[in-house]
Amino acid sequence: MTATHRGTGTQTGTDPDTQERRRRIATALEAAGIAQQTNERTTELTANANVVLERRYLSKDREGNILEDSVGMFRRVAKNLSLADENYGASEDERQATEDKFFLAMQRLELLPNSPTLMNAGRELQQLSACFVLPIDDALDSIFDKVKQTALIHKSGGGTGFSFNRLRPEGDVVGSTGGIASGPVSFIRAFDAATDVVKQGGTRRGANMGILNVDHPDVEKFITAKEDGKNLSNFNISVAVNSDFMERVKANQEYDLINPRTKKVTGQRNAKKIFDLLTNMAWKTGDPGLIFLDLINRDNPNPQLGEIESTNPCGEQPLLPHESCNLASINVARMVTIAEGDTVMNWERLDETIDIAVHMLDNVIDMNNYPIPEIAEMSRKTRRIGLGVMGFSDLLIQMGVRYDSDEALQMAEDLMQHIQERTNHASSELAQLRGSFPAWDGSIYNRPGTSGGVRPMRNSAPTTIAPTGTISIIAGASSGIEPLFALSYVRNVMDNTKLVEGNPYFEAVARQEGFYSEELMEDLAKTGSLENLDIPEWVKGVFRVSHDIAPDWHVKMQGAVQKFVDNSVSKTINFPNDATVEEIAGAYMLAYELGCKGITVYRDGSKDGQV
């Protein structure tokens, strides 16, 4: 049913150009006071941000009494991370200047590190990384040793990724006992059960990524492992594929299955049939996703240390075995100046924030208390960091640009190219002061006589696009590069707390353009989208929500951003409930053709307990 909300602003059917849309939005943001906050770099935490901070981030005593506020948390983190400067000869005045820079960037909500850093820096745990990958060898002691290490990582607030590809298939002979192997899927269940037992540090649910190569003999069992909607609830699962497999899907050809123990071909499967099974399961449950491992290893910054075989739980961070990564995200919605009815990118502010972020993330590596020695050794060897963005959808709104448009794709490319180049520059500058990362000699940054040449780098592969789930709530920003999920909705967070959220940009525009009403906001809370409401068409165009956007535009945006990101991009490709399996398959194929390093889809209503 179409609601009728007619205001005094532009009438439905008119479509001002981008510049005019931007002028109207800027005027609305100035009238609402939002522009002043952005320009003057002041902040006001939302009610939802305060709820999340109190529940999960702020220091508490043994009785659960809160010992700090947000300012105290940012100061705690900034002070702790600044101490790493002393390792490089900084005076106390210089260390204090670093602390103040870190503090201001966080307090202004322009830059936030990943959750474990906010939670643990300057506290007893001092485990600051979000992402870990553990290798699993085909031996019982190795498998259960990794179960124990997983528990330690989850207890400290981290998430883990695994490739189960080295494990022999179900039914294979176990030489030492003459028994029969139970296969990778049975062991994944052991990791899942361990995750249930250890809730992540009491503040983050344990999260895992399980990966199996498409040529493993048990690939069909793996693809269907989550079919009942009950198994492996603590795992995202993805099938690792390569270009050869995808081309065989297109050509409807067979491919070989290989026993990882013997390295011998054990049979063949039709690539198209396996792909169809995979997309059917993704339609039904959201799993498995695809990981394009050949693309990931093409960009492996340290091939001399081995091949990458897995990613972190959300897929944005490919890592070598025993490698970890600490992430941070810049709130690009605050990298603008809004004045005199216009909004422009503040590139100087963005560059300043990138430089601070690289410095901060490098310090995290030195201050980190790693959960196991092998991870400490590898992480310090590669010094991998992951700087990304949040608030991208907010930025598009400020600029008057529709998310599902060529203009938005170009904006994404331009923004990420700038961030990529400046991040590499900042890491190079830091290398001049502190030295390149220890594994630099054999890395892609030391290739004399090639197009890459020789470049000092303090950090491996420094850009990543994370989902920014809770830190974007703290920042009052849209998540990662995702479109808005809704303009007004109730969000479920841990402990069954419900948070009601409305979009401040939309409310400002609605008031300025004269179509704001309580009735409109109530309708929006029910529907989430403007599509069927009688308001100006240009407003509908700018304030598109995830389910208004065709899936291929989600994939196109991921592909545009991936062009200028070292690691990978966390992005959910949203489908309506009535989407077909063929549409899911089309998205998977488009992701391959656009050079994405992975893809995750979600069909509305295909999982219980939807956030």
Burial class (CB in 10 A: 0-12, 13-18, 19+), 482: buried
- Alpha-carbon distance of 571 to 567, in angstroms, equals 13
- How many H-runs (helices) and E-runs (strands) does the chain carry? 22, 22
- H-helix or E-strand spanning residue 408: helix 406-434
Residue type at position 3: A
Please answer whether residues 408 and 400 qualify as being in contact, where contact means their C-beta atoms are separated by less than 8 angstroms: no
Q: Assess whether 312 carries a catalytic annotation.
A: yes
State how far the Cα of 462 lies from the Cα of 539, in Å rounded to an integer.
36
Q: How far apart are the first and last CA of the chain?
A: 25
Say if residues 150 and 132 touch (Cβ distance below 8 Å): no
**Cβ neighbours of residue 200 under 8 Å, at least 6 residues apart?**
154, 155, 157, 158, 159, 206, 207
Tell me, what amino acid is at 28? A
| Identity of residue 33 | G
Q: Which two tokens stand for residue 604?
A: 């509305």
Tokens of 36: 């002043």
Residue whose C-alpha is closest to residue 401's, from 83, 17, 74 = 17
* CA 223/CA 225 separation, integer angstroms: 6
- In terms of Cβ atoms closer than 10 Å to its own Cβ (0-12, 13-18, 19+), residue 202 is exposed
CA-angle at 384, arms to 380 and 388, nearest 5°: 150
What are the tokens at 276?
């169809």
Q: Which residues contact 451 (CB under 8 A, 6 or more apart)?
A: none
Of the candidates 80, 236, 300, 312, the residue annotated as catalytic is 312
> Phi and psi at residue 233, in whole multiples of 5°?
-70, -15
Using DSSP's 3-state secondary structure scheme, residue 307 falls into coil
Of 516, 471, 572, 331, the closest CA to residue 48 belongs to: 471
Cα-based distances in Å from 81 to 269, 362, 366, 592: 52, 9, 9, 39
Q: Is 446 a catalytic residue?
A: no
Cα dihedral across residues 372, 375, 379, 384: positive or negative:
negative
From 30, 309, 316, 583, active-site residue:
316
Does 208 participate in catalysis according to the annotation? no
Q: How far is CA 12 from the centre of its chain?
A: 36
Tokens of 425: 């520059």
Active-site residue, from 314, 482, 501, 567: 314
CA triplet 523, 529, 532: central angle to 5 degrees?
75
**CA nearest 199: which of 189, 207, 191, 190?**
207
Residue 17 tokens read as 């150009």
Residues serving a catalytic function are 312, 314, 316
